[in-house]
Structure 1
Amino acid sequence: MPYPIQWILSLIFIVQMYLSMFVMAIFWTPLVMIKRDNVFNAIHSYCKWVRVSARYIVGLKSEIRGDVPTGEVIIASKHQSFFDIILIVSVAPRPKFIMKKQILWTPIVGWYARRMGCVAVDRGKRGVAIKKMVADVKSGATDPGQLIIFPQGTRVAAGAHLPYKIGTGVLYEQTGQACVPAGTNVGVFWPRHGIYRGRGTAVVEFLPEIETGLDMKTFMARLEHDVETSSNALMAEAGFVVAKD
């Protein structure tokens, strides 16, 4: 498809994606207020719509590989764009996030994040943020479910290298929960910034669970190895040339 047409389709897709968010929020909000668990029906509906509309408007198909975590676990995922969030949330039964505090004040998204039981942290106060994060999870301030965290702390462009932050390891060690790593290639088609959405197949791959009881250093090394190996393979499969270190 000619490049300018794909740009136009991308713009149409983005506009309808946010309009759909607004319309679905109006529909679901009363139901979520009546019964809190409806928040998961709401976000599943929205995420599945985004996946379907991406496929038919811009030609971006999506695929989930591996066993979807359903118990009370930590999902530690590569984060390349908004689309990997969409894919994970579309299939995780009771997803919740470790996320930056500012998102709580975002219209619609912030309210739904609170209802999901997301844990907000202040990036500017690293030590305090980690302690609060662990305390909130351990104290039962959040409901059981799949706790999603991005070990690099932010969106990372396809092929870019950023260090893994210790917060995931602290959470793993102190909560005693198993961790499911996840790799992705979504950044090849849906970049961190900008309007353009490419054609192809975006994948999130859930990897074998990392059991509890590992020491911090061993856990972090295995997590980074598993996530990066999976993501690099998926990006190469999509035709992206991954630079070697």
Structure 2
Amino acid sequence: MQPGTIRGLSRQWAHGFLFLCRSVLKLTYKVEGRENLPDGPFIAVSNHQSLWETIAFLVLFPNANIVAKDSLYRIPVFGWYLRRSPMMKVIRDKPGKSIRSIIQGSKLSAQERRSIVIFPEGTRTPVNGRQKYERGLSAIQKATGYPLVPVVLNTGVFWGTGARMIFGGEITVRYLLTIPPSSELYNDLDQIENEINKQKDDMAD
């Protein structure tokens, strides 16, 4: 089965997941800032609060290469999908090997003109928590030259890290203004991190 076919099937499965969230959990979502997405491939840089976005982004960013930690590859069926799509693997306890994997995957994505999705916090982070961004984002920028699209979401309000309950409501997924490689902000990851955190805090209020 070809990778494109596998990604298409995974989107259908993700649509089913979102349907169950909507019909059973009463958990819906809205997207703000669609007009900010560039016409060509880009790097979506998102905060990470829940399992929800791990699956929903298969629908929101079709055919994108999602940077995923190696533990997800051990999940039956889902791990098979990650390997065959293919997606980029992050090996948490081997940073050097991780960067090589990310660079290789980024170059392949650029050849195929696939967008890339990264959660630079590296793990799910509580609504009011902070996690310093990891260096994989810089490697992707250098390997692709893609513009950046900061993405902010508030899934943790409804489906938090380690939560025993999932609450109904409307998740907000917000695309901020695209940052082109020519911008002075492009390499200022601290400022990008601060802006995402600021908007994340505003959503949590």
Report whether the alignment pairs 1:64 with 2:31.
Answer: yes
Aligned counterpart for 1:180 among listed residues 130, 149, 170? 149
* TM-score (norm: length of structure 1): 0.74
SS in 2 for 1:190: coil
Aligned counterpart for 1:117 among listed residues 86, 90, 102? 86
**In 2, are the aligned partners of 1:136 and 1:142 still within 8 Å (CA)?**
no
* TM-score (norm: length of structure 2): 0.87
Superposed displacement of residue 146, structure 1: 2.0
Report whether the alignment pairs 1:45 with 2:12.
Answer: yes
Tell me the matched-pair count.
Answer: 203
Q: Which residue of 1 aligns with 2:122?
A: 153
Aligned counterpart for 1:231 among listed residues 192, 200, 204? 200
Aligned counterpart for 1:200 among listed residues 169, 177, 187? 169
Q: Which residue of 1 aligns with 2:69?
A: 100
In structure 2, relative to structure 1, the CA distance for the partners of 1:65 and 1:86 (3 Å cut) is farther
Deviations 1:75-129 (A, max 9, x none): 1111101112233221212122111223223210111112222011211121332
Which consecutive unaligned segments of at least 5 residues does structure 1 have?
Answer: 1-32, 237-245
SS in 2 for 1:45: helix
**In 2, are the aligned partners of 1:176 and 1:213 still within 8 Å (CA)?**
no
Deviations 1:193-224 (A, max 9, x none): 23311021112111111111457884302321
Which consecutive unaligned segments of at least 5 residues does structure 2 have?
Answer: none
Instruction: Report 1:165-176 matches (<5 A).
Output: 165-176=134-145
SS in 2 for 1:75: strand
Which has the bigger relative contact order, CA under 8 A and spacing at least 6?
2
Larger radius of gyration: 1
